[in-house]
Amino acid sequence: MLLPALGGALPDQREAIRVGDQTASWEQIRDAAAGIAGRIAGAPAVAVHATASLDTVVAIVGGLMAGVPVVPVPADAGPVELAHILTDSGAALLLAQTPPPVPLPIPVEPVDRARPGPSTPIAEPPGTATALILYTSGTTGAPKGVLLTRDAIGYGLDALAEAWAWTPDDTLAHGLPLYHVHGLVLGVLGALRVGCRLVHTGRPHPDRYATAGGTLLFGVPTVWSRIAADPVSARALAPARLLVSGSAPLPVPVFDRLRELTGHRPVERYGMTETLITVSTRVDGERRPGHVGLPLRGIATRLVDDAGQPVPEDGESIGELQVRGPTLFAGYLGMPEATEASHAPGGWFRTGDVATVGPDGQHRIVGRASIDLIKSGGYRIGAGEVENMLLAHPGVREAAVVGVPHPELGQEIVAYVVGDGVAAQALIDFVAGRLSWHKRPRQVHLVDALPRNAMGKVQKRQLLP
């Protein structure tokens, strides 16, 4: 069963889920979701307007109960993106309490939590059935629908529960969006599979994390950076059991500041929409700043160069990270050629990320091969290493590094920095004095803010000339 917390004997918890100021027991979630399931059973797919609400949780669980592929739609999706997702996914209807104020290609229905469920329970679908269709960010074209099976989700969550000692005694707290792997699969379905209480803070504000009472807290680097800058909220997290960071590399200075304020060394993990979470630090293992740990149970990883040849696992050599295992997606919806192109022989998925792996198996993600691996003057340089060094300067609050075409070097290192009272040349000299000379930025642009998406990831393509 994908969500055992909602089957059989319900856990004895008065409040199973809190989203903002809305609460529900396990029984209320099960019964409301059953009503949704009875309404949509047999549909080819159903879309859910994924706002931070209890209605979203009920609608998604209802789709999973019915065995209908669920298509979470970003709450802030623009009209073009929205139309593409609804049309491409083949969703029969959109479940939305307050529909988006634009023309839609499919019918819209409100989430009716009072609707009774079917008299006969719907049978659990096979593990190979599609559970979710999650859409990629569309950085290389129109967003692609990623098909995630029930088995892949269940296996991935169980492997994380082992790695993090995640049990029904935990209270999971986070304020992440409910339409992607981090906030939805880990942050909602994880709680429902493990059987622990969930507190969704509505928005990921430091003060809300501080008062959520979580033993297990999920955040992205932007969230943790804001918490690290709020000592009162950060210190309130000291009683927690585990702080987990993902979706992008956690800057080393933020890691160090959280350790100082909370007493916790954050756990980092790595994954993608197409692979779910494949690598993570263990609760009882080493938590090394800038590293995401070891492959989860059943997951294999390897590094290859541009020619597909193995890269030494010496902690220094950079290569493309490829992964293989039971958490991989079943393909891109309606795109067999793209699915085939995303795999190397032997079932290896090409992540498009570059990384290093040490002799002890510790993985460090450098970034996207297309933008975070800079080839300058014959050297292969990871943008993240330069960014972390810039962030070590006391006057730097944010930093993003890109490679810009250069007639002699191939690419030159260019940094965009949000800071206080810093000068461009001083930052260049700061990096040059601490890293290899060839890793220094050739240009530093001081800016008021860095472009970010809804997950807080820096949109580096917008920085390129």
Buried b / exposed e along 43-77 (16+ C-beta atoms within 10 A): bebbbbbbbbbbbbbbbbbbbbbbbbbbbbbbbeb
pLDDT at position 78 is: 79
**Counting Cβ atoms within 10 Å, is residue 309 exposed (0-12), middle (13-18) or buried (19+)?**
exposed
C-alpha span between 6 and 60 (Å, rounded): 13
Q: Note whether 420 and 395 are within 8 A (CB).
A: yes
pLDDT of residue 102: 83
DSSP state letters, 316-351: S--EEEEEESTTS---BTT-HHHHHHTEETTTEEEE
HSE-CB of 132 using CA atoms within 13 angstroms: 30
Residue 190 pLDDT: 97
Total domains present in the chain = 1
Across-strand partners of 396?
419
Structure token digits, residue 171:
């209270």
Q: In 3-state terms, what secondary structure has residue 415?
A: strand
pLDDT, residue 455, reads 65
- Tens-of-pLDDT digits for all 465 residues of the chain? 898 878 766 666 678 999 999 999 998 999 999 999 999 999 999 999 999 999 999 999 999 999 999 999 988 887 888 888 999 999 999 999 888 888 889 999 999 998 888 878 888 999 999 999 999 865 556 789 999 999 999 999 999 999 999 999 999 999 999 999 999 999 999 999 999 999 999 999 999 999 999 999 999 888 998 999 999 999 999 999 999 999 878 888 899 999 999 999 999 999 999 999 999 999 999 999 989 999 999 999 999 998 999 999 999 899 999 999 999 999 999 999 999 999 999 999 999 999 999 999 999 998 877 787 787 876 778 788 888 889 989 999 999 999 998 877 888 999 999 999 899 999 999 999 888 788 999 999 999 999 987 667 788 888 988
Residue 140 located in a structural domain: no
Query: Interhelix angle for 252-262 vs 383-391, to 10°?
Result: 50
Pairwise CA distance, residues 138 & 142, whole Å: 5
Residue with tokens 């098909």: 147
CA dist 52 and 312 (Å) reads: 44
pLDDT of residue 247: 83
> What are 157's two structure tokens?
């969550």
- CB 67 within 8 Å of CB 129: yes
Position 84 in a domain:
no
Residues in the chain, overall count:
465
Strands 216-219 and 242-245 come out as parallel
Residue 137 domain flag = no
Instruction: Please list, residue by residue across 351-362, b when 16 or more beta carbons sit within 10 angstroms of its beta carbon and e when fewer do.
Output: bbbbbbbeeeeb
Alpha helices in 166-220 (DSSP H): 190-194, 206-211
Q: Rounded to the nearest 5°, which phi and psi values hold at 366?
A: -85, -40
Cβ atoms of residues 364 and 348 within 8 Å: no
The answer to whether residue 354 sits within a structural domain is: no
The answer to whether residue 435 sits within a structural domain is yes
Token pair for 399: 């930093």
The helix/strand/coil state of 138 is: coil
Give me 210's structure tokens: 């501080």
**411: domain CATH number?**
3.30.300.30
Contact 151, 127 (CB under 8 A): yes
Amino acid identity at 116: P
- What sections of 4-92 are H helices per DSSP? 26-40, 54-66, 79-89
C-alpha span between 378 and 385 (Å, rounded): 17
User: Which amino acid appears at position 190 of this protein?
Assistant: G
Residue 459 within any structural domain of the chain: yes
Domain, as residue range, for 436? 373-463
